[in-house]
Structure 1
Amino acid sequence: MTPTDLFQSLWNDYIDRLCPSADKVHQLLEEDEALINDHIALRTFNLAPLGLETLARPFIELGYQACGEYLFESKKLVAKHYEHPDPLQPKVFISELKVAECSAQLQAIVQGLVAQVDERQLTGSDFLFGGRLWELSYADYQVLAAESEYASWLAAHGYGANHFTVNVNQLKHLHEVQQVNDHLRQAGFTINESGGEVKGSPQVLLEQSSTMADKVEVRFSEGSYTIPGGFYEFAKRYPLPDGKLYTGFVAASADKIFESTDSR
């Protein structure tokens, strides 16, 4: 599998299961050439056999390298981002929940989910867009959601791209992130306003925004319920002193982007 194949599979799952509206956003923003995907984001628990490194392995096998580490204390998360030697390949942002820092009730539920995972399911790369590897009750989902939106989202959806990201630098008619927001709002989309519509600034070399997550139907043991799914992000990068565009992430901004999947 090539990086192109993997990201196409991730995209197909994303627009089918997690963020169907992304296809419309894509059409609204695409101009005379294919949109460049700046990065995707993946979520996981830091419990064996899962964990950040497990999700990173298929990308590393395709040539990706770890480039930055991030801490989100209030959300009990750590993250890394990965880049490919080919700068046209999307960056990958992988985060994991530090389960041991959460309540005993959350730990027990998550441990029960992870105990259902067969390590043989984690070979290759198909599990990255395979959804849940466990069964989950809606009652447990609600318990997780009361403490950690991140934990409840991951428990409900399993593995797949939490979001894709349009590279705003590429756009010819919408030069600013705020212009993208305005354009999408006029088309009926809701923009994440947590921390301001535009997170970051030219001073920190990165500006970001995102839609609020789609509401999607998910199967639980008691039946199907509608909950937040994935969202679409937009990023504009600014040049470093050497003229190359900044390729990292800003933790304070990413912290607010996480809230695109909050229930509302």
Structure 2
Amino acid sequence: MSAVQLFDHLWQDYITRLCPSADKVHQLLQENEPLINDHIALRTFRSPQLGLEVLMQPFLAEGYQVGGEYRFVAKKLYARHLQHPDPKLPKVFISELLVGELSMPAQKLIHQLLDSVPQVTVPSFLWQGRPWSLTYTDYQILAAESEYAGWLAAHGYGANHFTVSVNQLRAFEEVTQVNAHLRSHGFAINEAGGEVKGSPEVLLEQSSTLADKVEVSFDDVTAMIPGGFYEFAKRYVMSDGNLYQGFVEASADKIFESTHRQ
């Protein structure tokens, strides 16, 4: 399966299951040329069977390389971003929850989920959704300790966001202008850490919508919980004349909060 096919599958799952409003955002920002996707983000639990190393493999097989690594101490996360020699292909930001740093009850719950998963099929598990059974009560227990853990337990695997490259847009030069345009059409912007995360000084500015509320079927009930969101990124030129391709930990930390329960 080619990299383009991988992203097509991820996009279809994203707009169908996790972030239906993304299709409208796409239409609001679409110009003459197809929108450039700066990056997507995937989430997982650190584990031998489904950890970051496993999620990386389908992308590495298509020529992607590790571009950087990041640590989010407060959220107990580790992440890497992958990038491709072809600049037209989006970067992939993969994070994993450091399960061993959670409380013992949360660890036990997560290990029960992971142990129930049969051998994964690569690469389709990347958009397979939740591969385990989960009650709403257990979702709430995990989310109370880690919003990330609750989100991942409830939704499973899929892109929690795609990202429009603001550099490409002709109608808007600044991230704030994109935010204002979306607000005028009824979208809420994640204001954790400010509506724009980052600055020209750190070579990257980012913003995002708040996650859609989507219906999820648990073992015991069906509930509306935060799903996916849409991000917007503006990159700045480095001293060597190339656009910065990495990520800023302080900014990404607040982008994670787009999926927090309000």
Partner Cα separation in structure 2 for residue 88 and residue 47 of structure 1: 31
> Runs in 1 of length 4+ with deviation above 6 angstroms?
none
What does residue 108 of structure 1 align with?
108
Superimposed CA distance per residue, residues 11-43 of structure 1 (whole angstroms, 9 cap, x where no aligned partner): 000000000000000000011110000000000
Alignment equivalent of 1:124, drawn from 122, 125, 135: 122
What does residue 62 of structure 2 align with?
62
What is the CA distance between 1:77 and its match in structure 2? 0.2
What does residue 162 of structure 2 align with?
164
Partner Cα separation in structure 2 for residue 226 and residue 116 of structure 1: 25
Partner Cα separation in structure 2 for residue 32 and residue 231 of structure 1: 24
Superimposed CA distance per residue, residues 170-229 of structure 1 (whole angstroms, 9 cap, x where no aligned partner): 000111000000000000000000000000000000000000000000010102110000
Q: Does 1:94 align with 2:91?
A: no
What is the CA distance between 1:82 and its match in structure 2? 0.1
Q: TM-score, normalised on structure 1?
A: 0.98
Letter in structure 2 aligned against 1:250: V
Letter in structure 2 aligned against 1:54: V
What does residue 30 of structure 2 align with?
30
What does residue 228 of structure 1 align with?
226
What does residue 8 of structure 2 align with?
8
Partner Cα separation in structure 2 for residue 137 and residue 187 of structure 1: 35
Please give the residue correspondences for 1:68-217 in structure 2 after superposition, counting only pairs within 5 Å. 68-119=68-119, 121=120, 123-217=121-215
Partner Cα separation in structure 1 for residue 127 and residue 65 of structure 2: 20
Partner Cα separation in structure 1 for residue 70 and residue 236 of structure 2: 20
Other structure's SS at 1:111 match: helix
Partner Cα separation in structure 1 for residue 230 and residue 116 of structure 2: 30
What is the CA distance between 1:47 and its match in structure 2? 1.4
What is the CA distance between 1:64 and its match in structure 2? 0.5
Letter in structure 2 aligned against 1:167: S
Length, aligned pairs only: 262
Partner Cα separation in structure 2 for residue 27 and residue 210 of structure 1: 16
Partner Cα separation in structure 1 for residue 111 and residue 48 of structure 2: 10
What is the CA distance between 1:124 and its match in structure 2? 2.1
Report sequence identity in percent.
Answer: 66
Partner Cα separation in structure 2 for residue 116 and residue 129 of structure 1: 18
Alignment gaps of 5+ in structure 1: none
Letter in structure 2 aligned against 1:134: W
Please give the residue correspondences for 1:35-46 in structure 2 after superposition, counting only pairs within 5 Å. 35-46=35-46
What does residue 17 of structure 1 align with?
17
Partner Cα separation in structure 2 for residue 48 and residue 215 of structure 1: 31
